[in-house]
Amino acid sequence: MTDTQLKEIPGMEDLISIALDLRWAWSHEMDTLWLDLDPDLWESTHNAFLLLQTMSRDRLKEKLTDPEFQQKLHTLKATQERESVWFQKTYPDKPLTCVAYFSMEYMLSESLPIYVGGLGNVAGDQLKAADDLGVPVVAVGLLYQQGYFRQEIDKDGWQQELYPFNDPGQLPIRPCRLPNGEWLRIRVMLSGLTVWFRAWYVCVGQLRLYLLDSNDAANAPIHRGITSEVYGGGTELRIKQEILLGIGGWRLIKALGMEPDVCHLNEGHAAFLVLERAHDFMKKANMPFEAALAATRAGNMFTSHTAVAAGFDLFTPSLVQQYLGAYAQQNLGISFDSLMALGRRNAGDPNEPFNMAYLAIRGAGAVGGVSRLHGEVSRHLFSPLFPRWPTPEVPVGHVTNGVHTPSWDSEEADTLWTKAAGKNRWLGDTDGLQNAILQLPDEDFLKMRNEGRNRFVTFLRNRMVRQYTATGYPPDTIDIASKAFDPNILTIGFARRFAEYKRTNLLLHDPDRLARILGNTDRPVQLVIAGKAFPTDGYGKGLIHDWLQFIRQHNLYHKAAFLMDYDMGLAEHLVQGVDVWLNNPRRPWEASGTSGMKVLVNGGLNCSELDGWWVEAYTPEVGWALGDGQEHGQDPNWDAREAEDLYNLLEQQIIPEFYAPGKASWVKKMRASMATLTPQFSANRTVREYTEEYYLPLAKEYKRRTGNDAGKRIVMQRQQLDQQWPGVHFGDFRREKGDHGNTFHLVVYLNGIDPAHVQVELYADAVSGHEVEKVPMHLVTATEGGQGTLYTAETQSGRPPEDYTPRIYPTYEGISIPLEDNRILWLH
């Protein structure tokens, strides 16, 4: 039977449509459809499109003509076509029509391996939540020929990397075609050569993810490998990929006929976008680059995920000159030095590299971190760009990450949540979910966890047998694996990238003590570990080797397992099956972390360092905490102390609570964690927060600036200030302490600046139990000549007048201070 004949069978078009829509990736009901067709292939690939291409045509015809299968397909197709209306109902008349989301990686499904880990997880989960909520988002990324490496562990316990090829024909993607059928291709100049990039798209419900691919036959071999692997190669490959994502990505958006109000840069990798977006507006509005950037940056949002300065992408001046020198002069109409200044702290230092995060900040209307603590860390990291501004006023906010709960819940958890709150619980606001979960009886929580753990143990045994057989373990060890673990035992999960700062070996500080904890016959514990080290990270590989050696030396194959090739599929099983999720990074290097959020919906509890998201989440009622909430650097003594604390937590609190008769305390924690934390740390909340606090205001300001000559006026005012600001100075300052407060009088010499274009205020630090205080000073007289301009203010806080220091900074044309103009003058 030919494919044409097959498509004539009723239901086949629906089946293909569902297979090419990644919304099925988070549907338990949809899983049953693919299991009906080919259970073995579905379990091994979770790629529905590949399944349809691979299975027998006779088998497909048989199933598609089966009335029971047809009914199931009809029901699921109707579910797939649901409308997402939260945004449309809540904000029917707002200016936001399109958000373009740019990210180097997306974790949507294991069938589309174009991700590494955390950053891709955040991007994928936010895209899914945007679809659930009806937020008008379009996403842009890269299609990698190999993606991230696949991990094998050899007989000696060492990581080996494999790079299987991503065959586009077997991925759930489709080529973008023009109305005449021609494949949409994007042209970008690299080092004077034309490079073509093919465009593909992925369906995520009603939303689209567009992917650019360099493997075009018209390209030179060196260019066909630009999208070879995510984060692969050296800095030269990286700058090519980032030019493709930012400049090529914006050109793709325009070629598709889209006019985004807001562009969201998920990390600095996409920062070149701000240049191309400004260039596009330059041509449209006939204005120079600086004015176009001033206008368009109002519609750009930059989210940083980096907690240390060394994590930002840096490019040497020579590399930037090679790939963007001609672009700066010919497209942007600016000098190479002007381009470099956008990515430098010190524009006059010819040796300073180009920092992509700096470019993103200088091209954005808003900047944010990914947790409350990370916002604080980022304000310190970026403070060099805002000299003389107090660190708390460095313009970096935060939206704490969340996870797309339907992607990570187990069948058992889905059943429990549906009983409590219905099937559509994540398609709008989540205000009623907490009370709904609190009403459930203890038996429901215990049943969910016991069934989830039992399913996980079955998965573990099968996975371990396959892994040990492939690795060449002896038959007796494989036999142990087939019977390993126990569905009634406390199960702890620990999975993440094996990097030094994540302290993945903290539990191994005293291996004999850990072995005793795992081997306790009265209150046993079982431990599951997974994770990859970067291919070039020998230290991280050594940490993995340490775990394999520990299991071997203590003969703990029945109680501990290192599961190789950690990916999205394995992560799902882990977060659905474990009772406790362990995380012990070195504070404050975990910007947010999302792995521990995924266990919440499944009734898992967290034992984590007070870092990232857990700082906001932790109370004794919902889990356990490590650390004192302070930074201790890489002090080995502190690591030893926290290892001791972790062993004590396990032995004195976690294990006794799990094995207490009736598990009353344990269930109480589960209920509190699920009810309070699951909605709070869901991508549903994250996307609503981005929409309401950033996307809507940015869209409004972007439309204002691009609808008139605001960009030109901003530049003119800035240039005028360049001439006048050096002459601004303070005159007489008098403080008067009264019975009920303080009165201040200040003379300022504005050097011809319009008083409407500056803000004069009093500033008091947070000292002696007082909060930071900023008091606007009011204009009394604006005198020409040498008399200066008089301002006055009164305070009634009870603070001594000496606490207050006058300062002055510009305010003009609605710009964001200090993000868009960092000038500030203090009296002292």
pLDDT at 669: 97
Cα–Cα distance, 826 to 736 (Å, whole number): 20
In order, the DSSP letters of 88-135 are HHH-TT-S---EEEE-S-B-S-TTS-B--SHHHHHHHHHHHHHHHHT-
**pLDDT higher than threshold 70 for residue 66:** yes
**pLDDT tens, 364-412?**
999 999 999 999 999 999 999 999 999 999 999 999 999 999 999 999 9
Cα–Cα distance, 717 to 706 (Å, whole number): 17
* Helix (H/G/I), strand (E/B), else coil: 319: helix
Residue-level pLDDT at 6: 52
Question: Is residue 325's pLDDT more than 90?
Answer: yes
Query: Within 13 Å and on the Cβ side, how many CA atoms surround 777?
Result: 30
Burial group, residue 482, by CB count within 10 angstroms (0-12, 13-18, 19+) = exposed
What tokens appear for 772 in the block? 């930071």
Q: What is the mean pLDDT of the chain?
A: 93
* Alpha-carbon dihedral 291, 296, 297, 298, rounded to 10 degrees: 110
Predicted confidence at residue 770, as pLDDT, reads 86
Query: Does residue 309 carry a pLDDT above 80?
Result: yes
Closest CA to 218 of 194, 252, 236, 240: 194
Q: Write down all domains in the chain, each with its CATH number in brackets.
A: 3-80 (no CATH), 95-152+159-401+692-706 (3.40.50.2000), 448-681 (3.40.50.2000), 724-826 (2.60.40)
For residues 433-459, average pLDDT: 95
Query: Within 13 A of 158's CA, how many CA atoms are on the CB side?
Result: 6
Distance CA 382, CA 396 (A): 8
- Secondary structure in 3-state letters for 578-613: CCEEEECCCCCCCCCCCHHHHCHHHCCEEEEECCCC
- Cα–Cα distance for residue pair 364/48, rounded to 1 Å: 39
* Per-residue pLDDT at 657: 97
Q: What pTM did the predictor assign?
A: 0.95
Range 334-361 average pLDDT: 96
Confidence of residue 207 (pLDDT cuts 50, 70, 90): very high
Q: What is the pLDDT of residues 94-128, one digit of tens each?
A: 889 999 999 999 999 999 999 998 999 999 999 99
Residue 1 pLDDT level (bands cut at 50, 70, 90): very low
Average of pLDDT values for 595-599?
96
pLDDT reading at 620 higher than 60 = yes
Structure tokens that stand for 532 in this block: 């990859």
How far apart CA 737 and CA 733 sit, in angstroms, is 13
Q: pLDDT, tens digit, for every residue of 461-515? A: 999 999 999 999 999 999 999 999 999 999 999 999 999 999 999 999 999 999 9
pLDDT over 80 (residue 8)? no
Which pLDDT value is given to residue 4?
56
pLDDT of 738 above 80 = no
Whether pLDDT at 659 is above 70:
yes
pLDDT cut 90: percent of the chain above it: 80
pLDDT at 2: 45
Say yes or no to pLDDT of 524 above 90. yes
State residue 28's pLDDT score.
81
For residue 784, name the pLDDT band (cuts at 50, 70, 90): low
Does residue 588 carry a pLDDT above 70?
yes
